[in-house]
A and B are shown apart, each in its own frame.
Chain A
Amino acid sequence: MALAFTALASLLLIAIFIFKEGIPFIARVGFKDFLLSSDWRPQAGHFGIYPMIVASLLVTFGAMLVGAPLGIACAVFLNEFVSKPVTQIIKPTIELLAGIPSVVYGFIGVVVVAPLIRSQFGGPGLSMLCAALILGVMVLPTIISISTDVLASVPNAYREGALALGATRWQSVHMVILKAGRSGIVAAVILGMGRAIGETMAVIMVAGNTVQLPHSPLDSVCTLTAKIAMEMGSATGAHRQALFAIGVVLFLMIMMFNALAMTAIKKGFARK
């Protein structure tokens, strides 16, 4: 059954081809000059991606500030505080909405959120704040659906035990259930981060795309993914290799997130 290895083979193929284009470039430019320089001028032969790494991480972090509390609160509420039939209506609705294409979220960012930021806080509107808000909403379905599964897998005896000791629902949730499901929820958040850092089209539309180290959330930034997608069409030679090298960095970051999430999940299930 050679078919069974298609997924694995594809993964290897992807890694090999991205690395083959990117790694020699990083070696030539120099690890330090590539990752830690702020000078991105492809025409002049300067390829420093530090501002984009910072932008990607900050935008992802910001998205988590929005998405994680909201998503976890949602999951807890749906799982512990409302009756089953209600959950069975709301959960599919949220999952259905996970299908909204990312370009649509980006568009909403451009026509609704960015003007709002511009009029309320000043600045260009298309900014790190805008990107973080949009991404925060986009990762909600991921975080909610994984967290709900995690909470549902916490044994009922824990709940009953806590309630029998006279705890209120909320006490049983934050003292017992969240503790039991902690690593699973951590995994949900990390997977959400992986989605946020890899998101491209929505970010291009709302982040403003200026290569710079941001001083405030209202500054325009350019993430790793946005840089790749915007310049891929026209880039040639070293410039194109540089974009693949960014791909390598992104690939490794995502793999790290995935590995972290998988260990967290394994730990969560091993304990039971």
Chain B
Amino acid sequence: MRIPPRHAQALAVTLLGGATGLTLAILIFVIVFILGKGLPVISLGFLFDNPRDMGKAGGIFPTLVGSLILPLAAIVIALPAGVGTAVYLSEYTRENMATRIIRFGTDCLAGIPSIIFGLFGFIFFVTTLKLGWCILSGALTLAIMILPTIIRTSEEAIKAVPASYREVSCSLGATRWETVLKVVLPNALPGIMTGVMLSIGRCIGETAAVIFTAGASLRLPHSVFDSTRTMAVHFYILAREGISNENAYGTAAVLILSVLLVNSLSYWMMNRFIARRTK
């Protein structure tokens, strides 16, 4: 039996629209569900108190600190390497064997799941380099994980800087390096920051790569050689070991809010960047 084209069209629109609606509904349900159960738990005391009794009571302050320090440390490590790669790829070389290999390596790195990063960080930073479970091990592992994102967004941002800017700078007698430093990078900065924000968002939500490298200590860290526990890890432990559902919801709500905030910020920056570019 053949369905007349017009009916097929109507049917297709209904089905496809339904699928889109369902997707949105699921994703929104996840957020509303967690916030609905978690927001009532959040209070100033919850945010700024130390956890008591393995997290059964008290607040989440140390994990908040962990979720702040670890991504920032990872960015500090990954940013120079990532932007350096992007500058090299777009300013200093043509497409050749070397750039193809670098791009291939970057793409492969982007596809590696976080548990492999966790395994690697554990055997390399924690065991072989004898750093132990600490912020430094965690940050180095996360830095490798976010490197592809930083490279890709930085490269896009650098490519988007008009060629005329470079030509003018060079015609004023600037060297290539001066041009990169004073003209290209400042103009690409908003684009690079988008990548940074996206990476921070990913680090905040990460669990598998963090739990085996930064550990899960609930004490406030005093140096980068101390172990720390991020909100995501804390939430995982609370939920998995059934320590406290109430505090798990609260932690999840703070976690989701911070990730959404960071990601919205990065989208806002990206849109502003694109708007400025097309002006």
Contact = CB atoms under 8 A, between A and B. Distances in A.
Residue from B92, B115, B144, B201 with most neighbouring chain A CB atoms (10 Å): B115
Interface string A57-80: 000000000000111011011100
Given A73-B19, A96-B263, A243-B119, 7 more contacts: A6-B81, A100-B256, A101-B204, A101-B207, A198-B112, A200-B113, A200-B114
Interface string B223-267: 000000000100110011000000010001001100110111001
A101 B255 contact: yes
26 contacts: A1-B84, A1-B87, A1-B88, A3-B85, A4-B102, A7-B102, A7-B105, A7-B147, A11-B105, A17-B123, A21-B123, A81-B17, A95-B267, A97-B27, A99-B263, A101-B206, A101-B232, A101-B259, A104-B235, A107-B239, A198-B115, A228-B115, A229-B208, A250-B116, A258-B107, A262-B107
Given A7-B102, A10-B147, A14-B120, A108 B30 contact: yes
Contacts of B13: 77, 81, 169-170
A169 B118 contact: no
B147 A225 contact: no
B30 A170 contact: no
B201 A99 contact: yes
A112 B33 contact: yes
B184 interface: no
B116 A102 contact: no
Given A6-B85, A198-B112, A77 B19 contact: yes
Contacts of B15: 73
Given A70-B19, A81-B13, A97-B31, A107 B8 contact: no
Interface stretch (A32-40, A86-94, A150-158): A86-94
A184 interface: no
B202 interface: yes
Interface in B204-223: 204-208, 211-212
Contact of A201 (B17, B33, B236): B236
A44 interface: no
A14 B116 CA distance: 8
B85 A232 contact: no
| Nearest 8 A/B pairs, CB to CB | A198-B113, A101-B205, A3-B84, A8-B105, A73-B19, A4-B88, A77-B16, A170-B12
Interface in A4-59: 4-8, 10-14, 17-18, 21
Contacts of B267: 92, 95-96
Contacts of A69: 19
Contacts of B60: none
Per DSSP, chain A at the interface is: helix
A131 interface: no
Interface string B94-137: 00000001100111110111111111101110001000000000
A99 B259 contact: yes
A4 B34 CA distance: 41
B129 to A, nearest CB: 11
Interface of B: 5-6, 8-9, 12-13, 15-17, 19-20, 22-24, 26-27, 30-31, 33-34, 80-82, 84-85, 87-89, 92, 101-102, 105-109, 111-120, 122-124, 128, 144, 147-148, 151, 201-202, 204-208, 211-212, 232, 235-236, 239-240, 248, 252, 255-256, 259-260, 262-264, 267
The number of chain A residues touching the other chain, given as a range, is: 35 or more
Contact of B123 (A96, A103, A197, A244): A244
A109 to B, nearest CB: 10
Given A1-B84, A96-B260, A11 B109 contact: yes
A201 B262 CA distance: 22
Contacts of B108: 11, 255, 258
B111 A103 contact: no
B9 A169 contact: yes
A219 interface: no
Contact of B9 (A13, A21, A171): A171
A194 B109 CA distance: 12
A64 to B, nearest CB: 15
Contacts of B31: 97, 100
A17 B118 CA distance: 12
A4 to B, nearest CB: 4
A233 B240 CA distance: 15
Given A18-B120, A200-B113, A262-B107, A103 B236 contact: yes
